[in-house]
Amino acid sequence: MKQIDQFIEFVRDQYKTTDFIPLHEPRFQGNEKKYVLETIDSTFVSSVGAYVDLFEEMMAEISQTERAVAVVNGTAALQVALRLAGVKQGDEVLTQALTFVATANAIAYNNAKPVFLDVDLDTLGLSPKAVEAFLEEQGELREDGCYNKKTGNKISACLPMHTFGFPVDLNELMDVCNKWNIPVVEDAAESIGSTYHGKPTGSFGQLGIYSFNGNKIVTAGGGGAIVSNDKQMGNFAKHLTTTAKKPHKYEYVHDELGHNYRMPNLNAALICAQLEQLDSFIENKRKLAEKYESFFEEWGINFRKENPDTTVNYWLMCVELEDRKERDMFLNETNEKGVMTRPIWKLMYKLPMYENCFRDEQKNAEYLEDRIVNIPSSVVIDG
């Protein structure tokens, strides 16, 4: 396919290499070494240190929330955020099947049940209309919240995920969930720096979470964060993720079943240096997205771009191909020739541990699963 060869040539020209081109690799071109060495010199390399505190301050500012809490990874952040939102054993959580497995796993870690609802074609994320349709059919408001009148289980949270950095339609989703008294927890693992109507993703729900895995725009090697505009809830998140230990000079007193989900100061030093470059990284990626858009437009291929009233970080850029056959051909040829591309995730209910969970028709999710391919999206090194 001539277009694929030209695509490979185009990508190699952007990254100026004939070597293997990964989907997304980190860039360390700021104060990373300096801050990590300072941490080593201080001997505060574990879960207490100046960079942990600085990271939490920086994330509260970036997310425009009252409190941010450093944790070991995004999945841990999700698990605890759902617990804080009130998710308990046997409850149901409304979410999307078109997502990375951590979204569903975090629900299961709380011994709750994911309810998989469809996504919107334009956002790739949880559809407010699908949520509303499900609740109109199966929801029942009671004094202590919303229940599934068919199963009898409480619907204790709604968990949208901002796919590849593209914001969900948050205004409409928040309206639906507020009407049914369901807390929203935003899985903003992929969308740091993205905005919806001028506000950062992660700041709309009762809680939000971010991931700083090695393949994200900015990385701590791992790492995650919980954010909230409820400062008391944020402080409790800090308590739970640091083994629920009460402050004391020397006694070990733990008053909750806590988690050892603390981010080491070493990792915090790395992510602080990365966050200093977040704006420039996103600017760089948005320029690359413009080039991709122009390239694919010539071939009549739909390069996914941001919707009105949103600003997208373009964490992973993607194209929508004609069908699964064309998708698979594109994947095979690019990967065989050293340019990494990847299909969107397998839908969660197609995995053995979630195959018996409730799902709606999933018309849009299945359409996208057959067609969406991620393409190389790393920050381009100038010069």
- pLDDT interval class at 383 (50, 70, 90): low
87-107 residue pLDDT tens: 999 999 999 999 999 999 999
Return the half-sphere exposure (C-beta side, CA atoms, 13 A cut-off) of residue 192.
Answer: 28
Phi, psi for residue 103 in degrees, rounded to 5: -60, -50
Q: What is the mean pLDDT of residues 171-178?
A: 98
137-141 long-range Cβ contacts below 8 angstroms, 24+ apart: 139/180, 141/180, 141/181
Helix (H) or strand (E) holding 298: none
By the 8 A CB rule, do 208 and 65 touch? yes
Phi, psi for residue 360 in degrees, rounded to 5: -90, -160
Scanning the chain, the segments in alpha helix (DSSP H) are: 2-15, 32-42, 50-63, 74-85, 101-109, 128-138, 170-179, 231-241, 265-275, 278-297, 324-336, 363-369
Position 1 pLDDT exceeds 80 = no
- pLDDT interval class at 47 (50, 70, 90): confident
Q: Is 67 exposed, middle or buried (0-12, 13-18, 19+ CB in 10 A)?
A: buried
140-149 long-range Cβ contacts below 8 angstroms, 24+ apart: 141/180, 141/181, 145/86, 145/181, 145/182, 146/180, 146/181, 146/182, 148/92, 148/115
Q: What is the mean pLDDT of residues 203-214?
A: 98
By the 8 A CB rule, do 47 and 263 touch? yes
- Angle, to 10 degrees, between the axis of helix 32-42 and the axis of helix 265-275? 150
d(CA 190, CA 180): 27
Query: What is this structure's pTM?
Result: 0.97
Angle at 48 between CA 46 and CA 52, to 5 degrees: 100
Question: For residue 32, what pLDDT is reported?
Answer: 98
By the 8 A CB rule, do 362 and 116 touch? yes
β-sheet bridge partners, residue 228? 67
Tokens 């992510």 -> residue: 271
Q: C-alpha distances in angstroms, 381 versus 15, 16, 167, 286?
A: 7, 9, 27, 14
Buried b (16+ CB within 10 A) or exposed e, 51-66: bbebbbebbbebbebb
Q: Structure tokens of 366? A: 């299945």
d(CA 156, CA 52): 31
Question: For residue 84, what pLDDT is reported?
Answer: 98
- pLDDT interval class at 191 (50, 70, 90): very high
What the chain holds in terms of domains, given with CATH numbers, is: 2-22+278-375 (3.90.1150.10), 32-275 (3.40.640.10)
Q: What is the mean pLDDT of residues 363-375?
A: 98
Question: For residue 16, what pLDDT is reported?
Answer: 96
The region, left, alpha or beta by phi > 0 then psi within -120 to 50, assigned to residue 235 is alpha
Position 176 pLDDT exceeds 80 = yes
d(CA 256, CA 275): 32
Residue at 380: amino acid letter: V
d(CA 107, CA 102): 9
Q: Structure tokens of 381? A: 């090194």
Cα radius of gyration rounded to whole Å, the chain: 21
d(CA 338, CA 22): 8
Residue at 192: amino acid letter: I
Question: For residue 235, what pLDDT is reported?
Answer: 97
Tell which residue, 250, 314, 264, has the closest CA to residue 72: 264
d(CA 298, CA 250): 67
